[in-house]
């Protein structure tokens, strides 16, 4: 693999034992995308430093020397539409697409990552094994369990793996429906030896992830990534990154963050601080002071996310002096009512002050991120967002202002999983476009059609499998999905059911047998808390 010569490794691969398990570890996208994934990097390094594993990497555009008879084929699944590439790679390796068609001569196909942890059901037919949750401990537990049954037949292997916490074997669960186009009637294990539910696994250490490889071939060239926090304490009610990854965890400053950064600076001057709410690390100010030292003047520093009320002039100055020209803040809406609905603890005054501080600290650009079609939203709330952005521009003149906006997409394991997409959102995105352009504010909408497709996959069940196989050949446009629904009419619910309908809290969800961090009853309580502001 020619890209390997550009890689600077921050770990030392070991020589595999003679009887090491041959593993292919794939990322279903191009190398530049896959190698930028911190999750992929961490699991690859874990495999490559085990003498009982012989691992080869596989991407859509390049690969290492692959074993003739791999025992395990793993996919790190981070982007919904990459399912097309998973199917392509299975065919490339001459492995049947469906798990039920594989025999003892085929590898166990396993997968992990945010897409599968949230809702694996639309993809259940393609995987023998799905790892739910954080990979740090889960991958080792999986490999240890596999070694115990390594020489057994396929059925024995799967039944043994199903007893390990966080390991989900889709074929060992039966889903029944009220009728072909109706709701789910039940989800049950095929017999009493299989757990009724599978619980997502949570890594609870205070040493979080950092890059294991740096390369100029990555999508973010030569970046060294450090995970500062995991999850988010704010718990916005639509947010998968918060609810699915609870509890909020922070990397220890002295034993984790600073040593990781010092290690990274030996191979790169570009540092990326990652996390859903980086500036809410309890020692973030101390970390800023550390990075502000004269010996680190050459660092190019970027931060994944910044909470509005943590944008101080000091933060802006530090970032500006470290080659950062802009920051991104998620405000969700300019309406106080909508922010209460989603549990965004933020006032308009704090948003304005953040803009003032950003400009005073020397930043040139401020990017806001929001949504259209949030449950309970009216056209008045959209108008209030326009007015707030206009006021920000007036309050901090000379600061370039960008507003990125997506359509609300319901996500599994969040309080808003029962809501459908608001079809008025497309019209509201166009309203933003018209009004903000005249104010000199750059507007960057995310495709409404893509949000519809994302929702379909996010709320999908196993009946989507043939539809996904059709759209693989039709293309990734909304028109392709509608064509596939038409072709499969009568065999599954229609698009409206999955995407636009509000679901009852009493109905069985496709992922009901897969436990997230919070119980079903708590999510319902949070949903009711939101509705009081409607």
In tens, the pLDDT along 343-379 reads: 999 999 999 999 999 999 999 999 999 999 999 999 9
Which of the 8 DSSP states describes residue 65? Answer: P
Domain 2-187 has CATH 3.30.160: no
Pairing of strands 229-230, 249-250: antiparallel
Output the pLDDT for position 325: 86
Average pLDDT over residues 268-297: 92
Output the pLDDT for position 205: 84
What would the pLDDT profile of 138-160 be if each residue is shown by its tens digit?
A: 999 999 999 999 999 999 999 99
Enumerate the H helices of 397-494 as residue ranges: 425-438, 448-458, 465-474, 478-487
DSSP 478-521: HHHHHHHHHHTTTSS--HHHHHTPPPPTTSBPTTTTEE-SS-HH
Q: HEC string of 320-357? A: HHCCCCEEEEEEECCCHHHHHHHCCCCCHHHHHHHHHH
**Six token digits for residue 343:** 């549990």
Contact 45, 263 (CB under 8 A): no
How far CA 128 is from CA of 15, 243, 266, in Å, comes to 28, 26, 41
Q: Could you tell me the pLDDT band of residue 324, with boundaries at 50, 70 and 90?
A: confident
Task: State the Cα–Cα distance between residues 415 and 288, nearest whole angstrom.
Answer: 34
What would the pLDDT profile of 34-51 be if each residue is shown by its tens digit?
A: 999 999 999 999 999 999
Residue 508: is its pLDDT beyond 90?
yes
Residue 305: is its pLDDT beyond 80?
no
pTM: 0.96
Mean pLDDT computed over every residue of the chain: 96
Q: Could you tell me the pLDDT band of residue 206, with boundaries at 50, 70 and 90?
A: confident
Average pLDDT over residues 284-305: 90
Q: Could you tell me the pLDDT band of residue 322, with boundaries at 50, 70 and 90?
A: confident
What would the pLDDT profile of 71-89 be if each residue is shown by its tens digit?
A: 999 999 999 999 999 999 9
**Six token digits for residue 226:** 């450090």
Which of the 8 DSSP states describes residue 206? Answer: S
Output the pLDDT for position 104: 97
Output the pLDDT for position 337: 98
Strand 167-168: give its sheet, edge to edge: 53-58, 21-26, 72-76, 108-112, 129-131, 167-168
- Among residues 363, 299, 378, 301, which one has the least CA distance to residue 329? 363
Q: Could you tell me the pLDDT band of residue 207, with boundaries at 50, 70 and 90?
A: confident
How far CA 369 is from CA of 291, 333, 349, 376, in Å, comes to 27, 8, 17, 19
Sign of CA dihedral 476, 479, 483, 488: positive
Pairing of strands 53-58, 129-131: unpaired
Contact 70, 107 (CB under 8 A): yes
Sign of CA dihedral 409, 410, 411, 414: positive
Rounded to 5 degrees, what are φ and ψ at 256? -125, -60
Average pLDDT over residues 185-199: 97
For residue 24, whether the previous peptide bond is cis, meaning omega lies within 30 degrees of 0, is no
Share of the chain above pLDDT 70, in %: 100
What residue spans define the domains of the chain? 2-187, 222-459
**Nearest 10 degrees: Cα torsion 31, 143, 124, 413:** -90
Which residue is it, tokens 């049947």? 96
Q: Could you tell me the pLDDT band of residue 202, with boundaries at 50, 70 and 90?
A: very high
Q: HEC string of 209-268? A: CECCEEECCCCCCCEEEEECEECCCCCCCCCHHHHCCCCCEECCHHHHHHHHHHHHCCCC
Options 3.40.640.10, 3.30.70.100, 3.20.20.70, 2.60.120.680; CATH for 222-459 is: 3.20.20.70
Output the pLDDT for position 210: 97
Average pLDDT over residues 185-214: 95
């Amino acid at each position: 693999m020619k890209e390997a010569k550009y890689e600077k490794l921050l770990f030392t691969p070991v020589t595999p034992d003679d009887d090491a398990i041959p593993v292919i570890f794939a990322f279903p996208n191009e190398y530049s995308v896959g190698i930028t994934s911190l999750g992929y990097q961490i699991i690859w390094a874990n495999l490559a430093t085990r003498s009982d594993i012989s691992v080869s990497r596989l991407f859509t555009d390049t690969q290492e020397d692959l074993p003739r008879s791999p025992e395990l084929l793993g996919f790190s699944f981070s982007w919904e539409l990459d399912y097309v590439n998973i199917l392509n790679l299975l065919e490339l390796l001459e492995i049947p697409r469906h798990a039920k068609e594989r025999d003892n001569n085929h590898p166990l196909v396993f997968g992990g990552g945010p897409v599968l942890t949230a809702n694996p059901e639309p993809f259940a037919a393609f995987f023998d094994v799905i790892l739910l949750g954080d990979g740090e401990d889960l991958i080792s537990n999986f490999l240890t369990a596999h070694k115990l049954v390594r020489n057994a037949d396929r059925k024995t292997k799967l039944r043994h793996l199903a007893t390990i916490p966080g390991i989900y074997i889709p074929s060992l669960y039966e889903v029944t429906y009220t009728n072909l186009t109706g709701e789910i009637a039940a989800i049950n294990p095929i017999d009493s030896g299989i757990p009724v539910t599978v619980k997502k696994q949570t890594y609870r250490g205070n040493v979080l992830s950092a890059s294991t490889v740096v390369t100029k071939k990555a999508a973010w060239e030569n970046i060294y990534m450090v995970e500062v926090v995991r999850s988010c304490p704010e718990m916005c009610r639509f947010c998968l990154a918060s609810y699915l990854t609870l509890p909020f965890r922070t990397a220890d400053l002295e034993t984790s963050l600073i040593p990781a950064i010092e290690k990274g600076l030996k191979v790169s001057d570009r540092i990326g601080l990652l996390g859903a709410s980086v500036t809410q690390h309890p020692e973030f100010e101390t970390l800023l002071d550390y990075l502000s030292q004269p010996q680190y003047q050459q660092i190019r520093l970027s931060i994944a996310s910044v909470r509005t009320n943590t944008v101080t002039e000091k933060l802006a100055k530090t970032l500006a002096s470290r080659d950062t020209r802009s920051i991104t803040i998620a405000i969700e809406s300019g309406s106080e009512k909508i922010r209460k609905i989603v549990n965004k603890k933020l006032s308009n005054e704090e948003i304005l002050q953040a803009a003032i501080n950003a400009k005073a600290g020397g930043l040139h650009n401020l990017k806001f991120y929001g949504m259209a079609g949030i449950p309970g939203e009216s056209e008045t709330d959209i108008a209030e967002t326009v007015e707030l952005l206009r006021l920000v521009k007036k309050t901090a003149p000379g600061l370039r202002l960008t507003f990125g906006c997506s359509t609300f997409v319901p996500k599994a394991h969040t309080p808003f999983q029962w809501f459908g997409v608001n079809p008025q959102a497309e019209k509201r995105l166009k309203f933003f476009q018209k009004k903000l352009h005249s104010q000199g504010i750059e507007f960057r909408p995310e495709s409404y059609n893509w949000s519809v497709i994302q929702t379909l996959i996010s709320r999908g069940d196993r009946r989507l499998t043939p539809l996904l196989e059709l759209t693989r050949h039709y293309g990734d446009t909304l028109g392709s999905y509608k064509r596939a629904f038409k072709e499969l009419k009568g065999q599954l619910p229609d698009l409206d059911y999955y995407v636009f309908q509000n679901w009852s809290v009493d109905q069985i969800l496709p992922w009901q047998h897969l436990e997230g961090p919070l119980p079903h009853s708590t999510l319902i309580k949070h949903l009711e808390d939101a509705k009081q502001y409607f």
